[in-house]
Chain A
Amino acid sequence: MSPASRLFAAISIVVAGAPLMSAQCSGYDSVPLWIWNPLFYQSSLSGTQITDLAASVSGWNNAQTALTISTNPYDDIDVSVDNSITDLGDTYIYPMAPYTGCANQYDGCGVCRNSNVIAYVDIKVSTTLIATEAAAYTSWTADQRLTSVLSHELGHALNLKDLGGSPTNCLQTSIMYLGNGAYTCNFIVAQSYCDGGDVNAAYSDAYFEDWDLDDPDFCGYCNQGAC
């Protein structure tokens, strides 16, 4: 692919709309999007929390085909505990601009590293609130609740929005429910129809950079001028 066509492909990902899959699906934001695939995650979780995170990641890998999420060597998505938050989980999405040294610079493949491109994501979970809430309001264990929260937050990391209300069809439902939709339908990971469908749609025209170490065109270097 020529740099020009790659640039066109990169631009097309930012103008792609967010078609509604159905009334029960959350939909997605058209920007910012990832330009890397596979995505990698690291975490400072411990004990069974590590298994919970792996289950959440596996759920997303099974639900959609646009991206693959794996562990190491990069830290695109970082997961850690922060009991200072007032929520079950918070997701912080850091776009390339204005943060990084590559902000608003073309890279070697013609992609403008601007605010439409995700640099990295941090997910914070309150294990204290999750354990309390699991015991008080559901019959789920703290591990099940953590898995469902991590699955929801990973959905945000992939650009999905929230979903209000309650599910009316448990066969076509979503992990992105803000309320207890997932508990009502008894699932703790991403679902294919809505969640997988939304991610596939969000990244259907996406251009992913070839960051292989033997890549001769040095996609990853943003030394091609301002944009």
Chain B
Amino acid sequence: MQLLSKCMWLTLTISSCASLAQEDRRITPTDPTQSPQGRALLWVRPVPVADTTLKGLSAISDAIVEGVVENVLPSRKASPSNIQTDIRFTVVKSFKTSLPLNELMISQTGGAVGTYEVVPQQYELMQPGQRYLLFLMRDRRPSTPVLIGAPPYTILGAWIGSFGISNNKIHVSKMSPESTHSLYDGMDAGAFEAEIEKVVPTAQ
């Protein structure tokens, strides 16, 4: 009887303790088939780019193009937590491509689907009307949609291959290496293009 009473006390204690579990502290993993809710601050760790000079970037890029963001497509889920935002990019000038390109699709990680929002901390999502010179990698992921006439790409090193252009000046991404900033930030866009043409022998 005494043993039974001790067992009952222990059972009550354990169940009471369980009820004290900290509210809003996650106990079990989120269902991997379901998207999280709310806002996530995203830090990405891109594949390192060993040589971040223009010559180094051009050597490993699948395409180098200059152009304008035509429009932003609705964000989509590549996996339950991985939100991608695709943009349609009008090519004004090609420096390196395997095919003639008038238009292409570029995917960036981040965006919002329903009540789930992913906010990149290291780079900005591209917006309509913005002008860029981009070093790109072909996007061969099965989850990437096919946009007829606009082959899919991603930016080399998430932001390293992205150079904004406004007022005819180059704007280096905030998280790019210091050496890239010191060399190219504020450079005349025409001079920057000339630098690229020097390192891409087959400039188109």
Contacts and interface: CB of A to CB of B under 8 A. Distances in A.
A25 interface: no
Contact of B28 (A75, A94, A164, A165): A75
A84 B158 contact: no
Interface in A120-168: 120, 122, 124, 129, 133, 137, 149, 152-153, 156, 162, 164-165
Interface stretch (A50-58, A62-70, A200-208, A219-227): A219-227
A74, A98, A178, A209: residue with the most chain B Cβ atoms closer than 10 Å: A178
Interface in A82-109: 82, 84-96, 98-102, 107
B21 A120 contact: no
A222 B179 CA distance: 48
* 3 pairs of A and B residues whose beta carbons are closest in the complex: A99-B38, A220-B22, A92-B40
Interface stretch (B45-53, B61-69, B88-96, B161-169): B45-53
Contact of A86 (B22, B23, B25, B109): B109
Interface in B117-170: 118, 122, 139, 141, 143, 154, 158
Nearest to B107: A86
A91 B122 CA distance: 12
Given A42-B29, A92-B36, 16 more contacts: A76-B26, A82-B82, A87-B45, A90-B42, A90-B82, A91-B44, A92-B40, A101-B24, A102-B23, A113-B24, A115-B39, A120-B25, A122-B36, A133-B48, A178-B48, A180-B50
A53 B177 CA distance: 28
Given A90-B109, A102-B24, A133-B47, A164 B176 contact: yes
A98 B40 CA distance: 10
Contacts of B50: 137, 179-180
Interface in B57-113: 78-79, 81-82, 107, 109
B1 interface: no
A179 B27 contact: no
Interface of B: 17, 20-30, 32, 36-50, 78-79, 81-82, 107, 109, 118, 122, 139, 141, 143, 154, 158, 175-179
A157 to B, nearest CB: 9
B126 to A, nearest CB: 15
B78 A84 contact: yes
Contacts of A164: 175-178
| A-side interface mostly | loop
16 contacts: A44-B32, A80-B32, A87-B46, A87-B158, A88-B46, A91-B42, A91-B43, A94-B40, A99-B38, A100-B38, A122-B36, A162-B175, A164-B178, A178-B46, A180-B48, A209-B22
A221 B28 CA distance: 18
Given A84-B82, A179-B48, A94 B23 contact: no
A78 B30 contact: yes
B177 A220 contact: no
B81 A82 contact: yes
B195 to A, nearest CB: 21
